[in-house]
A and B are shown apart, each in its own frame.
Chain A
Amino acid sequence: EVRLVESGGGLVKPGESLRLSCAASGFTFRDAWMSWVRQPPGKGLEWVGNIRSNRDGGTTDYLPPVKDRFTISRDDSNNAVYLQMNSLKTEDTAVYYCVTEYWGSYNFWGQGALVTVSS
């Protein structure tokens, strides 16, 4: 059974940093492309960024508004993917989902981690 478990969410002030972790199990993690998708409270879904498998280059891609502030990384030895978020803004407030990619669509989702940016 595929499991994705996010952790690290919480309340931070504007300008602060936060790191989300996603522990994966139930599939061959090293071969998977992983993404983060967020959902502000009461609003729709927004892709944040992704990281390819190391076999496919390990490169990352980001939503333009977060490109210079967020960094996605992976640790294949621990089946984990991370989202480092710096210089957080109030508009970054959302539930952040860790998801597996299936040819560009998202076939498995974690339960989400709530990040609240507020002074």
Chain B
Amino acid sequence: EVVLTQSPGTLSLSSGERATLSCRASQNIGSSYLAWYQQKPGQAPRLLIYHTSSRATGIPDRFSASGSGTDFTLTIARVEPEDFALYYCQQYSYSPRTFGQGTNVE
């Protein structure tokens, strides 16, 4: 099973600052099979990024992502108040598909 480790566990920022979230895989998952999700309390997750760097429909361009192999990054260029939430990465290169444990942006 591919283990995804997200860091940091908590990211404390102010609105307008840049957020950089990391997701490291326990083995090479290639360059295309990683997604990022945002989850707010009491809500279902929302897809932000698929195929490592493609924004999902309706996702603002302040969200960007990159990476390959074992190291992936989600960047929020300037954090808006509505961006404070939990963020999860997920790999779909191997079965079982796995999620990271999450980064809380507060």
Contact = CB atoms under 8 A, between A and B. Distances in A.
Interface of A: 44-47, 61-64, 97, 102-107, 109-112
Nearest to A61: B95
Interface in B23-72: 33, 35, 37, 39, 44-47, 50-51, 56-57
Given A103-B50, A103-B51, A104-B33, A64 B96 contact: yes
A7 to B, nearest CB: 15
Contacts, number: 55
Contacts of B44: 97, 109-112
Contact of B96 (A45, A63, A102, A110): A63
Interface residues of B, number: 23
A106 B47 contact: yes
12 contacts: A45-B37, A45-B90, A47-B97, A61-B95, A97-B45, A102-B47, A102-B50, A105-B90, A105-B92, A106-B35, A106-B45, A107-B57
**Among the interface residues B39, B44, B99, which one has the most CB atoms of the partner chain A within 10 A?**
B44
A47 B96 contact: yes
Contact of B99 (A44, A61, A62, A109): A44
Nearest to B1: A64
Contacts of A62: 96
